[in-house]
Amino acid sequence: MKKETLSKLMSLALRHKPQEIGIQLDHQGWTSLSDLHSAIQTKHPEVTVADIMNVVATCPKQRFAVDEEGQMIRANQGHSIKVDLALPIATPPERLFHGTASRFIESIRRDGLQARQRHHVHLTASRETAMTVGARRGTAYLLQIDAKQMHEDGYHFYLSENQVWLTDVVPAKYIIEL
Ligand code: HQG
């Protein structure tokens, strides 16, 4: 199986539909590496634990983490199912970015940024990353977020292990268009 295909299958299992391949996640999103491997092997017998570990190690977005004992695996962020990643509240940089598609802008101006199917709104400190994320959905449109003011106003931010800034919602008044 191609590495990208395996990575997508792991995202499906660890972020969205564990039941679809027959695994269970604990409340913090972890599952046993060997359970994940066995479940994947039912349909794809050629996949090895080393293949899974290779995705964990080389995925450019560092989407997955394995615990120190090398026994448990989870997705670092991006879940649609309910998990508590137990991330500490972090102080964001003054400005964060969100890349979206231009066709969403009117709605975002009105309603702010919402998590939609995911747990959190995803933000980044990097303009380039935001543009790449936005380009997935059409003509990329870059928004700048006044994270300093949000933080001062009591909104919580979390930094995932793979450096994605997460927050519950970004009300429209904190969005600065670029
Ligand atoms: C948009 C990928 C209209 C929002 C990426 C986005 C990222 C609104 C879409 C990660 C809205 C949700 C997350 C509103 C938000 N009206 N549209 N009020 N509020 N939106 O995929 O941030 O490959 O859930 O702008 O690289 O695009 O999965 O979020 O376009 O890091 O690891 O609704 O997913 O990473 O889309 O992407 P998503 P996202 P992975």
Is the CB of 107 within 6 Å of ligand 1? yes
CA-closest candidate to residue 131, choices 158, 104, 91, 98? 98
Q: Please tell me whether the overall predicted TM-score, pTM, comes out greater than 0.80 for this model.
A: yes
Is the CB of 108 within 6 Å of ligand 1? yes
Name beta bridge partners: 165.
123, 159
* 116 CA to centre of ligand 1 in angstroms: 8
* 127 CA to centre of ligand 1 in angstroms: 15
> Atom 40 (ligand 1): residue with closest C-alpha?
78
Mean pLDDT across 146-151: 98
> What pLDDT sits at residue 89?
95
Ordered by start, the domain boundaries in the chain are 3-75, 95-177
Mean pLDDT across 66-95: 95
* 59 CA to centre of ligand 1 in angstroms: 19
Is the CB of 111 within 6 Å of ligand 1? yes
* Span 95-130, pLDDT tens digits: 999 999 999 999 999 999 999 989 899 999 999 999
* 120 CA to centre of ligand 1 in angstroms: 9
- Ligand 1 nearest atom to the CA of residue 164, by list position: 31
CATH for the stretch 95-177: 3.20.170.30
* Span 22-51, pLDDT tens digits: 999 999 999 999 999 999 999 999 999 999
* 128 CA to centre of ligand 1 in angstroms: 15
pLDDT value at 60 more than 90: no
Does the domain at 3-75 match CATH 3.30.70.580? Answer given as no
Following DSSP, what letter does each residue of 78-123 receive, concatenated? --SS-----PPB-PPPSEEEEEEEGGGHHHHHHH-EE-TTSSSEEE
- Residue 140 half-sphere exposure, CB side, CA atoms within 13 Å? 14
Is the CB of 122 within 6 Å of ligand 1? yes
Mean pLDDT across 140-158: 97
